[in-house]
Structure 1
Amino acid sequence: MIRLLFALLALTLTVPATAQDMLPPAPYAYRQLPDSAQEAKAQALMETLRCLKCQSQSIADSDAPMAGDMRHQVRTRIAAGEEPEHIRQWLIERYGDYVSYTPQVKPITWPLFAAPLVFLALAALLLRGRFRRRAETPVEGSGE
């Protein structure tokens, strides 16, 4: 009885996880727009958006179903006349900052941009102090 219960529980948890993979691809997931100028805009935008499933590929390069859905959304919105930057902002609102390869400076992320500068300044101060002490120390055998 307990085994049957565990089997049913496992089945109910795995079905939602595989549901998206069983859906047919969105119409514009693998089909280009008829207007070459619009397709060029869509392609340029898709190369700057990260696949959330693959994480190391853009949605233009990924074969993941989620990337196909995102490509469909981008192409549909470009065909409707939306600007690429507006589509990027919509995707960031929907999926979070991680979806964009172009990081945005916000109050919560500014320390990430400032940290390298702080470390460089600290290293420069430490090296300056070390070279000063070395210059002030008399060299052996110089007769001083």
Structure 2
Amino acid sequence: MRLVGSVVAAWLMACPVAHAVQPDEIMADPAQEARARELSRELRCMVCQNQSIDDSEASLARDLRLLVRERISAGDSNAQVIDFLVARYGEFVLLKPRFRSETLLLWLLPPLALVGGGIVLWTHGRRKTKAAPGADPETSSKLTAEEEAQLEQLMAAEKPRETPV
């Protein structure tokens, strides 16, 4: 009995996440449906903004899913469907923006920030390990000849005078 429960739990964990695609949206041709699902995962829900239209339950996402399926049924390629939606809704409809001159900063800023942070940490670490001129315990305990003479004079002046008993 325990084995059956474990198998059921493992099966439930292995099941794919439920998507928002409704049964009436699914295309009859499995190849076209797979293309539609693939495209739906690349398109942003304009309402949720951080979800794909494949995952969103918003009515606009449903409309976009139906539009994608309509364009696929009309014989459009994946690139044509994407281009149609970008022309209609702008680049923001893409979850992963294209690498272009307009999006160059968006693509390059994260790696540049990572490299810059690494350089700052490396520089900070080197500064900590690099000793300041007077910070070395060996060099800071050594006195110059002039300082030793002054110290001798001070110590001689401070000696307690012996009083006869």
Paired position in structure 1 for 2:131: 137
- Structure 2 vs 1, CA of residues 130 and 56 (structure 1 numbering), >3 Å: closer, same or farther? closer
Paired position in structure 1 for 2:57: 63
- The one-letter amino acid paired with 1:33 is M
- Structure 2 vs 1, CA of residues 51 and 131 (structure 1 numbering), >3 Å: closer, same or farther? closer
- The one-letter amino acid paired with 2:119 is L
Q: CA deviation at 1:78?
A: 0.9
Cα distance in 2 for partners of 1:133, 1:67 equals 53
Check if 1:89 corresponds to 2:83: yes
- Structure 2 vs 1, CA of residues 31 and 131 (structure 1 numbering), >3 Å: closer, same or farther? closer
Paired position in structure 2 for 1:8: none
Indicate the percent of aligned positions where both proteins have the same amino acid: 34
Check conservation: 1:42, 1:78, Cα contact below 8 A.
yes
Q: Which has the larger radius of gyration?
A: 2
1:3-58 CA-partner distances (Å, limit 9, x unpaired)? xxxxxxxxxxxxxxxxxxxxxxxxx9933221111111111111221111222332
RMSD, matched Cα: 2.4
Q: Which runs of 4 or more aligned residues in structure 1 lie more than 6 Å from their structure 2 counterparts after TM superposition?
A: none
Q: CA deviation at 1:85?
A: 2.1
| Count of matched residue positions in the alignment of Structure 1 and Structure 2 | 116
Paired position in structure 2 for 1:80: 74
Paired position in structure 2 for 1:114: 108
Gaps of 5+ in 2: 1-21, 140-165
Cα distance in 1 for partners of 2:56, 2:121 equals 46
